[in-house]
Structure 1
Amino acid sequence: MHFKMNQVKSKDILLFSLLMILTFIFVPIMVKDKLNQLLIHFGLSAFVASVYVGLCIAIILVVGGYFLLVKPYHTTWSEVGFKSFSIKKVPWLLLMTIICFGASVLSYIISVYLGAPESNTKTPILQEVDTWYSYFVVFIMAVIVSPLYEEIFYRGMIYGFLRKRINRTISLSINAVLFSIAHWPNWNILLLNLINGLLFGYVYEKTNSVYASFIVHGLINLCVLLVAV
């Protein structure tokens, strides 16, 4: 399959560009930075502020993706990926989880070897996690909320949008790059997220289900969380 520019219309470019502005300009400046500072200014700890910021990002991106990439094209939620997958896929999903985790460890080691710091911007926040309640909140955010909204947004909405217009390889590559950039400025996990973005996208491509990619993504985050604590 070849890249077909005639399948990409000016409307597609405009709406996709608006979503990129929302994702990579508005969210980092107004939510990750300004809102986070405001919440801390009003007395919230860095950990609690990060939870509220994470929830806001999830809502903004999913709602933004819906109004820019889903609703204008009358795309159904089933087309986005809200559909079941065969139970026969479970062993394969577990295998993909193992592959993703192995790739994550290897890419992290390579990144650190090349000069990336071992810690990132989330390290000081995680140091505040010292009660069963805070551990529970971290689990919910890292293993359920983040993987779910990221799979809906990056795979179901963005990849689904790209896949209808350009071929699989280019769609997977663009999607993985965007997914990795979204985790800036955590340089030590950019390569990790680039590779995982490709693998999560591949799982979505093979199953057409955000539930499947969510399971793999959530299990990976759980493994990383267990290693971190």
Structure 2
Amino acid sequence: MKLPDLCKQIEERFKEKVQVLLYVENDPAFRALLNKFLTQFNIDVVEAFSKEEIFINLEQEKFQILIILSKELKEGFSSLVFNIKTLAPESKILIILDFMILEYLYLLKVDFLDFFSWGVDDFIIKPFSLEEFKAKIFKLLKEYLMFKEIRKIEREDLITGVFNRKYFEEVIMEEAYRALRQKYPLVIFMISIDNFKWYNRHYGHQSGSKKF
């Protein structure tokens, strides 16, 4: 499977346009290169120019991948990743490390495994080839697709496709938090079907599934 095919599969299966949020500090030429490279695979790229813009974009849209090149790689960076994962837990985070910063990381006693403990999904060391970069993007999107498939099985009835109670309990907490944060009203509609067990017993579960 090629990268455009994977993007198309995500779009068709989950009605999601593949989007990447790109945050690169102090390197506009490199940022433009990554943007141009990704768009050729029918991936929408949104650029953030500050950490505040990252969170504004995450509140407004869904991003399958965040690409981050930041100079804050200890306490400040770990809290940035934590806040991103809190706001967008499904999004995959790819960080770019400049080769020149590796010695600095060693002095700070930052291990590559620390990135994963913070919530980073993968990293790539600059300089790198565009083919290597494409492979990282493909891997993360593949993981995203598998995660969505598992979540779908967890949240939906396999026969009817109706969301189950587990999903309701998850989403009501998310929506309530979002409504409080953005200060807008939250409305819940509840529908009760009378005598549905009787209907299933008399006409069969297949007929009941059609009613759903």
**Structure-1-length-normalised TM-score:** 0.21
- Larger of the two Rg values belongs to structure: 2
Structure number with the higher strand fraction is: 2
TM-score (norm 2): 0.23
The structure, 1 or 2, with the larger RCO (C-alpha pairs under 8 Å, 6+ apart) is 1
Larger helix fraction of residues: 1
